[in-house]
Structure formats: C-alpha cells, structure tokens
Structure 1
C-alpha cells in the first residue's frame, strides 16, 4: 500500500483566516502490487463542519481499499471556533480534491470516469453539495478537469436547512444569521437537477442527531429527477456509526491526521497566540486537549451493529453496477 499526503492548495491560494497553518489535504491508500487502473473513493469524514472526525477516515478508506479501490482520506476546512463562517471554502476544498485525483489519475492508477466520494454526516452534506453545485465551483488552476463526482455515498447525511435541519452544521457553515437565499442554496433536497450524479444513501431510523427525514428528502428529490440511486434505512443505531463493525467499536480507526487543524488551534490557544474568552478557552481545551491514547478512548464507539455493518458491501455492489453502465 502506498500512503502519502498531498496538500491541495498552494500558500497564496488558501486564505481561510482561522486555519493557523493547516492546509486541506488528501492522504492516499493506493495499491502498489500492480498498475491496474481502479475506481477511486474519496472519503469525507463528518464533524458538524466543526471538526473532521478520524472515526470516519482511514478505517473507511482501508475498507474500500480492500474492495479494490484506490482510496483517499480528505481533510477539509472546519470552523471549531465559530469565528469565521466557512461559506464556500469546504466545497472549494472538495472540488479541488476531485480535480486533483483526476489530474494525477495516471500516477494514482485511477479510472477518471469512476471517481466516487463518500461522506458522513456534515461530510455527507459536503459531498451532496458538490453533487448538486459542481458547476458553481470554477478552478483556474485545474481548468478543463471535471469536479463532478461519478457517484456519491451519503452516510447519515445532513441534507436540509428546513424543519429537520442539523442547525449547528449550518451555523458553522453560514454563521448565526444567514439569509433565506443562503439557506435555500444549502438545502440540498431543493437543488437536485437532472445532471446530479448517482447517489447511495444510508441512515438509521433512530438517528438522534440528524433526523432520518434528511435522507428521505434527498432520495425523493433524486427519484423525481430520475437519478440512479439507492436508499437504505436501517432499523436502529445511533448517529456516527462509521463502519459499525467491531474495529470501529474498539476505536481501531487508524491515524488521527484529520484533526490537524483542531490540534493547531488547541496549541495556539495554549500558547496564547489565539486569544479566547476564558470560558470558551476552557471548553475548547476540555473537548480537544488530550493525548492520542486518551483521544482514542474518548472516541471509541460502544455497540457495533451487524445490521448496519453491511452497508459497505451494499455500496460496493451498487457502485459496480453504476460503473458498469458507463
């Protein structure tokens, strides 16, 4: 396996004011036993647009690597401090990641017509956003290289800014007082077109954080527009199930590289470089100032689910069917 990090932006291209030295990036998980051209899977963890959760990163990429994909973990800009709404920075990051993989397709042994993205929770919203708004994200550095995914897996995704919204995700994205126009733009069930790529959705009925209505709304919009899709709703399970298997339940999710921006912010706060009110400082440190071993213990899940753990098998079978029609 070839594991390597690539930053997605040059210094003069990336200007988010609260990055503190972090640059959005992808980490590869590539087959090096042959030069076979394979489909690509870009994994986009969730975290409410506040963090990029390691529980949905490497562990998922390795699962799809094992199924024959060239896999990538994508770490994008987040807004843990709530100080600067992200606006369109995350979709710019993901758009650049898709283009980057296609630009380097020969080096990565990737089929440029089989580039899939797989997002979780707010990462699912980010993936869904690119599926419906890819035409709105130009990139002169990668002119002529498509940012349209060939397929998307949306795992317990944030979809709507309406009645069933996960409000905190939209606060991180748009701020405390977004306009009606902004909210409509990020309410993805109303943005599906006839050119939206095929989508695979899954969620649990009992999701306590993102109401299951989110995936129903998007699936219905896909159906109305005749978009190839699959929609799996499992009978029970909490939010943030990732692979829902024993490895995930025991905290065996791989490297915590996706926490780089948060770690830089925590260190800046501890060093006094980033001034915060004392109450907010203590909240931040209580949430994120721990060593890696303690962090793994805190992020351990509790109960795996045999029912839900089949979703990667279902998604792989669906993708094979979708790609075979190309």
Structure 2
C-alpha cells in the first residue's frame, strides 16, 4: 500500500475533473423535504459501497426515510433509517492535505444522525484540508443476513473503497482515519479492533485492501454490550433482546483488542447520562493492556451527543483541536 505522496496528490488533482460525472451514477445523500439552511454546504457527491448489489438483503427490505427533528429553520437535525443502499457522502477540501477521515454518526443503531455527528464534522474537517466521508451504514435490526456484523461490513468496505479511490480524492491511502460517535463510536471501535475479521465475502479487487484505519477516535462511544455499562437500546438493536454472554463478548470492542490495533483517541463527558463514561474507561484499559497507544480525555461536563454544536461555550468545546493535535503524531497529518 506504499505510495509516493507527491504522485498521489498530483494524480488526485488531475482526476478530480471526472468526479462530477462519476457522482451522478451514485445514490443521492439522505435528505428530508424542504430547503437546506443557507450558507451550509451540503454534499453533492456520494459513493455507493456495493455497486454490484448490497449483500444479504432481507426478504422484506426496509424503506429509507429521513426525518427532520429540529424546529429551527437554520439548524437542521436530520435522522435517517431503513438504509438499503449504504453509501458515503463526501466533503472535499479546497486544498487537500492528503489525509481522509471516515465519519460514523451515532443514533443508537436505531437511526443515523445526519447533521450533528456527520455533515457538521465533515465541513469542519474539509475546512482544515481533510477529505471527509460520512458513512450511512445499514442498521442491524432490519434483518440483514450479516446480523450484528452488518454495520461493520459497511465500515470495512468503506475503508477499502476510500483507499481504492484514493487518487481521485488526492488522498494518501495510508492516511485514512476513523471517527465515530455514540453507537457510531461503537462501530468505530469495532472497526479499530476487528478490521481484519471477515464479515462479508470479497466482491472485487477493492476487498484486497486493508480496512485498518491509521488511527481511530471513538467519541462518547458505546463499548460494552454487557450490564451494567451497556447502552440498553444499542445493545438490543444490535444483538436482540436476550443475547448470550458469548454474543455480548464478541461485540464488545474492549474484549477484542488485537496486538496490532491502531492508535486510539478517546473522549467522554463524565456527566453523560445516556452512555456511561465507564465505556470509554473499559476500552482504555483494554488498549493499555495490549500496549496500544491511547489518548484519553474525560470532561466533567458535556452530557451526551454534544458533537460540535452542543459543545460551544463549554470546556469540551476544545475537543476537535485536541484530536487534531493528537492525530498529527499518528502520521495522519
């Protein structure tokens, strides 16, 4: 996977002219009725993860639906469920720095948050030179053949697809990070610990590439699937109402850390009343036991699901810059 960085960036700039025509063949980003807020760029480019057909389609496929939960016309808060065409919404920087970030929004594995933990972070990253890919992954309770591994299948495929298409986006294929929030933080931690697990049958040359991120940032993540620390809703939607202890262990990232896991950045508010901060502490301890580099930030106040917008005016507001400074040391840039 070694590439000359200068040639990668140059090739990406030359090929970017073809991106618009390629994007036309992809499934549009999730969108609710009504106009988007003025001044906030919306993604115009998407990448379908499975162009030859999504694997393991249920007998009664769900119907994708996006709802607007905000009453403020200038601040959207969309949620999408029933995804049958998993895809990436792309935020391109004006001046690419050669690095990419795969974003996995949360939503308790019940839906996926579009704006707060997806598009807002995509804009923030793109403004700083990163190419951001917001992942709309399949939800495990919809009956997919992969069961509780279905979201991880999409995350693995997304990492490989970003690397496969690196030249088009002026990306160094070795500099692709992962970041996730809440249940998306669980998916991010799952990817960081089970990147090499075979969760789907390879479909093309893309699947020969590694799904391992250069670094991972699970933010206020769901981690444990066992009481008392499990988030009940995420646990039930991922594993069902009465999972076995073996199934709980198989899907608790703190119990599956390999010796070659990537460096990890952890962030949680101690007053989180939805996902206990103990989830982050469990994952930190497991990473430390394996001698995996880990940076951990615990804030006294912040609650759950603060993303960018709900962190404003609080000490936790600094978290994106803490991540960015840490990420430089991993080689992401």
Q: For 2:98 and 2:212, how far apart are their aligned partners in 1?
A: 18
Secondary structure of the residue aligned to 1:118 is strand
Unmatched segments (≥5 aa) in structure 1: 250-302
Describe how 1:95-106 pairs up with structure 2 within 5 A: 95-106=156-167
Q: In the alignment, is the contact (CA less than 8 A) between 1:37 and 1:111 conserved in 2?
A: no
Distance 1:77 1:65 in 2: 25
Pick one of 74, 79, 87 that aligns with 1:25.
Answer: 87
The alpha-carbon deviation at position 181 of structure 1 amounts to 1.5
**Alpha-carbon offset, residue 13 of structure 1:** 3.1
Shift of 1:61: 1.1
Q: Is the CA contact 1:203–1:212 (under 8 Å) kept in the aligned structure 2?
A: yes
1:306 pairs with 2:317: no
Aligned partners of 1:84, 1:305: CA distance in 2, in Å?
A: 42
Tell me the SS of whatever aligns to 1:322. coil
Identify the residue that residue 8 of structure 1 maps to in structure 2: 49
What residue in structure 2 maps to residue 315 of structure 1?
323
Please give the alpha-carbon distance, in whole angstroms, between the structure 2 residues aligned to 1:225 and 1:236: 30
The runs of at least 4 consecutive aligned structure 1 residues that moved more than 4 Å come to none
Aligned equivalent of 1:92: 153
Higher helix share: 1
The reply to whether residue 158 of structure 1 matches residue 158 of structure 2 is no
Aligned pairs for 1:219-230 within 5 A: 219-230=284-295
CA contact (8 A) 2:93 2:127 kept: no
Q: Residue 32 of structure 1: CA displacement?
A: 4.3
The total of aligned residue pairs comes to 264
* 1:130 and 2:191 aligned: yes
Q: Greater shift after overlay, 97-106 or 190-199?
A: 190-199
Deviations 1:158-181 (A, max 9, x none): 001122111211211111122221
Q: Offset at 1:37?
A: 5.3
The 1:9/1:43 distance shift into structure 2, 3 A limit, reads same
C-alpha distance in 2, partners of 1:32/1:315?
Answer: 21
In 1, the alpha carbon distance for the partners of 2:322 and 2:142 equals 40
Cα pair 2:100 2:176 within 8 Å, conserved = yes
Q: TM-score, with normalisation over the residues of structure 2? A: 0.74
Aligned CA distance change for structure 1 residues 43 and 190 (closer, same or farther; 3 Å): same
Name the CA distance, whole Å, in 1 between partners of 2:121 and 2:164: 23
Q: Which runs of 5+ in 2 are unaligned?
A: 1-40, 65-83
For residues 138-195 of structure 1, give each alpha carbon's deviation from its aligned partner in whole angstroms, at most 9, with x where no partner exists.
5342232111111111100000112211121121111112222111111111111211
Larger mean CA deviation between 149-158 and 133-142 belongs to 133-142
Q: Which has the higher contact order (CA 8 A, sep 6+)?
A: 1
